[in-house]
Every structure is written in structure tokens, then in C-alpha cells.
Amino acid sequence: MKLLAIDCAANVCAACVYDAGAGIELGRQALDLGKGHAEHLMAVIETALKASGIGYRGLGAVAVSIGPGSFTGLRVGVSTARGLALALKIPAIGVTTLEALAAEAADAFPGRPVLAALDAGREELHAALFDKALVLTYGPAVATLSEAAAMAVKATAVLAGTAAPQIAAAAGPTFDIGPVAATADIATYARLAAAKGPGEKPKPLYLRGADAKPQAGFILPRQDRPKGHGPEKQGQSPRKRGSGEKES
């Protein structure tokens, strides 16, 4: 099976075509954008397909990173993956950024538990703990630095993700650290999705709401027209025009 993988979870807008049967990557494209995933994703996909020599009709599945990550980027990636899957009548498979980072850490330190964590700001982390077999045992969830450090110590875990250095510093003992990144390599998502196979339709994993919210508290109240001004003076109604009168 040939699989297309998409990742818009962080700054990078990436896609690759992966041969699940042979376990090899056939073509890729990745742009470090920061923003603007919606404008570039389809071109990135087209470039990856061209490099692989595979057309859309040659795909058997679409994989996508579902977060945690960029609120807008996740929405762009997941909606694109689901749209392609619907049009091509193939499954869409979601992979979290934390399990992808954990898989890369496990490649570097096999047979060890892994704590993958991303710095979410506001003194919060997005974290997930995996056992020696990479089976999820905690999360993905919002955690404090002290909570993550306690988990790392108890599990003697390898650390991965952007919050790994913070956790290592807070925990005290020396920890092995895998990838210190906001997302994994695009081929990792493809490999994990191929191993998972079809399941529920992917949807963005938002562990907290968007930062931008309506500022209801700052909406000005409706200002009624002061009484005694204009035609609606207090105690009076506007005079109706006769049929022959023109509006002044």
C-alpha cells in the first residue's frame, strides 16, 4: 500500500509518500513556514507525489498529524486529509505528535519508557507517557512541569519534545533525551499510520481551547436615542405623511 502522510502540526508544512509494504519513503517535500499552511499544503503534497512517481489514484490511505500543535495548522492538515480520503475513497489515519516523537525517542533508546511533552505556554505542558512497548499509559493531557518531572522520575523515562530540557532540569537526575522538537519527521507519521491501519476518522487533538476568543466583556452596550430629540419627542409619535406629501 502507498500512503500519503501530511503534517501541519508545527512550523513545518510537510508531506511524503510511503510504501508500507517495502517500509520505504518514496518522495517528500517539507517547508519551514511558521504560518500559511493553508496556502502551501496542496503544492507541498503535489511535489511529494511527483517525487514519488505516484498519483492520487495510486494511494491507499492518507495519514495526518492530529496534534497537539498549532490550532490553525492542525485544522488545515486534518481537513485536507479527510477531504482527500473522501474524494479518493480511502481511509484517513490520525497520528498524534506525541506518539510520533515518542517513536523517534524509542528508536534512539529502545526498550525504555518515553515521556513526550510539548511546551504549551502559560506554565503548562502537553504530555503523554508511553511504556517500554510504546503503549500509551498517560495522556495526552495538560500537565504542570512538576507533574511531568514526577512522572519522568517514577518511570525513568527517556524524554522527548520541546519541553524535554525543562523536565530534565526540574527532575534533578540525568535523563536521556530524544528529539527536542515540536513535531516528528514526516516519515515517522507515515510509518506509524501504516502500522495502525484504518480506524476512526481523524480530528484535531486540542487539549485546550484556542487563545483567540470573543471579548464579550468589551462589547459596548446599545446606546438608545436620548429622549426629547428628533421626531420621537417624549410623549409624541412621529407624524405620518399624507399620501400627497413628499419626504423632506
What type of residue is 50?
K
Q: What backbone torsions phi and psi does residue 121 show, to the nearest 5 degrees?
A: 75, 175
- As to burial, measured by CB atoms within 10 angstroms (0-12 exposed, 13-18 middle, 19+ buried), residue 18 is buried
Helix, coil or strand: residue 145: helix
pLDDT (tens digit per residue) in 82-94: 999 999 999 999 9
Instruction: List, for residues 101-150, the tens digit of each pLDDT value.
Output: 999 999 999 999 999 999 998 889 999 999 999 999 999 999 999 999 99
- Give the pLDDT confidence of 182-228 residue by residue, as tens digits: 999 999 999 999 999 899 999 999 997 544 444 444 333 444 444 44
Task: Summarize pLDDT for 144-174 with one digit per residue, the tens.
Answer: 999 999 999 999 999 999 999 999 999 988 8
Three cell numbers written together for 120: 504549551
65 or 123, which is more confident: 65
CB 17, CB 53: distance < 8 Å: no
- Residue 241's Cα: distance from chain center in Å? 62
Helices (H), 128-207: 145-155, 164-171, 186-196
**What are the distances in angstroms from CA 48 to CA 13, 27, 37, 124, 139?**
12, 5, 15, 35, 32
Q: Please name which of 136, 135, 165 lies closest in space to residue 148, comparing C-alpha atoms.
A: 165
pLDDT score recorded for residue 209: 55
Whose grid coordinates read 529502545?
A: 110
Higher-pLDDT residue of 56 and 209 is 56
**pTM, 2 dp:** 0.83
What's the mean per-residue pLDDT of the chain? Answer: 88
Do 84 and 57 meet the contact criterion of CB atoms below 8 Å apart? no
For 220, which DSSP code?
Answer: P
Q: Inter-axis angle of helices 145-155 and 164-171, to 10 degrees? A: 70
Q: In the sheet that 124-130 helps form, which strands lie side by side, from edge to edge? A: 136-143, 124-130, 114-121, 158-160
- Report d(CA 248, CA 148) in Å as an integer: 74
Of the given ranges (53-62, 77-86, 176-185, 218-227), which has the lowest mean pLDDT?
Answer: 218-227
Average pLDDT over residues 69-86: 96
* 96 Cβ neighbours under 8 A, 6+ residues apart: 65, 66, 67, 68, 128, 140, 205
